Structure 1
């Protein structure tokens, strides 16, 4: 088998790479784990995404993408059609790239594979804990109880309130009153005991079905000004493009089927509506922002129109959950750093060495959630669209990345290092 990018393999089975021709990309996954891939400097964002999808044995990659922090510390989705290195060099604040959900579905029941639903669960839990999806105390308690059951299962020593106090159960900084926090944690402990016997996939599904009904689900917004110069939040959601005024006025939503086209000119972003001759125009921070917002909204517009038509035609059918032992490979480096565990892959084609711990089915691979690793909390990720998704990729919900494995397995379940 020829080596990728013309690299030479020494007897040590490690690639000799030149910094001028290769890029070592560090990616944070939704569970907090770090992985590294050595790619060509000309490798596109799509190639990097496919490498991540292969590592996770994820087939339905249409819903996911990669993002980074730009030099203004804003979160931006990678343009998958362009070289990754050029984007990071020109716009990136740091070389780290983040994996996440880019397209949110109207119902998680349409997700076909368990590994897809698991990654969705991690994203939604992250969205809740980081405050992007607001919730009441009652909702937060229900979600926390389900999350504990999903992440820890039926472990007697986890029933106590003292144990739960060590972990992030509620949105960070959300409950300031210690007494209220203690009472809420006690309710979570009681609720958690009621979920005993509930399998992790079912707990995750119940969690997601609760979140998908909440305001803020699948939304991303950016500050802008309307045609009168008033400050607004302009963004995309499942239904269309929304405008939120800061003076308390009801949000305005332009439905996807009402929008003919979207354009940008300098710092202005415009919607061309089907029932109006004039376009609706908004002003963003600068030209780069308007270009990005337009690219994001066009991609989301395309995705949700196709996704909606497929849902109406009954193309999506819930799939049964399948649990099995993942494929093992000895060709990776397992690294323990001060920031946690991560894998260093010398190519985008190999697999991660997962080690089973005892007979519990848990894996010692650093795949920890925010509940299982309170010291290492992930940075927030945005919710937006994939700026370079194609129509053919949207339709293919069983899309298989090039060189990917043949199975889609959920093997990052109970991963708390003890």
Structure 2
């Protein structure tokens, strides 16, 4: 998959407005970050007088700040996110946030952002898979499939999804092959298994790496 790379994910957030979206490069690159679920803290940004700055944490760990109107709906922010990613099959995805009761919620496209986020700024959202398909062949775009892999890997890594015994080895091997290419004893070792870890800490043992 051409979207996998060894580049570290960007943690320095930037602000995008409408003009930035129109000039965004067409050759968007995505990094495979094995610790994406740990990167959520937004970076400092200048105050916006007549707007809101919403920080979106992407599946590769990148933080991007988007400027929207103070009365903007959820759809307004999501549209900017889709333009930024150049994602075609956008119906599978959504923006998630944690409410004041520490419960994960999806940003409603038809409602005001400020009415849904009771605390802020900063207004932080996570770009995630919202709807899964029963048949992976329904995912026609390579970028969509790549984002699904990142989401599934993060869910397994954080324990949200359980990986049956036996499948864990196969999934880890496929993940490593996608990122590093075919195995060669001269270039690869058990260290690569640690770097591409797919499982929760309690399952990722030295025996598993062997």
TM-score (norm 2): 0.70
Q: Give how far 1:58 is off.
A: 0.4
Q: Give how far 1:53 is off.
A: 1.2
- SS of 1:96's equivalent in the other structure is strand
* Map of 2:157 onto structure 1: 129
- SS of 2:123's equivalent in the other structure is coil
Report how many aligned residue pairs link the two structures: 167
Q: Please give the root-mean-square deviation of Cα atoms over the aligned residues, in Å.
A: 2.6
Distance 1:183 1:145 in 2: 15
Q: Give how far 1:136 is off.
A: 2.6
* Map of 1:68 onto structure 2: 97
Q: Give how far 1:38 is off.
A: 1.0
Distance 1:75 1:160 in 2: 38
By relative contact order (CA 8 Å, sep 6+), the higher-ranking structure is 1
More strand by share: 1
* C-alpha spacing 1:18/1:165, structure 2 compared with 1 (3 Å): closer
Verify the 8 A CA contact 2:156 2:198 in the aligned structure 1. Answer: no
Q: Give how far 1:86 is off.
A: 2.8
- SS of 2:166's equivalent in the other structure is helix
* Map of 1:59 onto structure 2: 88
Distance 1:151 1:85 in 2: 39
Match of 1:139 among 163, 167, 188: 167
Distance 1:71 1:35 in 2: 23
Please list, as runs of the form range in 1=range in 2, the aligned pairs for 1:16-165 lying within 5 A after superposition. Answer: 19-88=48-117, 90=118, 95-154=123-182, 156=184, 159-165=188-194
1:257-291, Cα deviation, whole Å (9 max, x unpaired): xxxxxxxxxxxxxxxxxxxxxxxxxxxxxxxxxxx
Distance 2:187 2:96 in 1: 35
Task: Please say which structure displays the higher CA radius of gyration.
Answer: 1
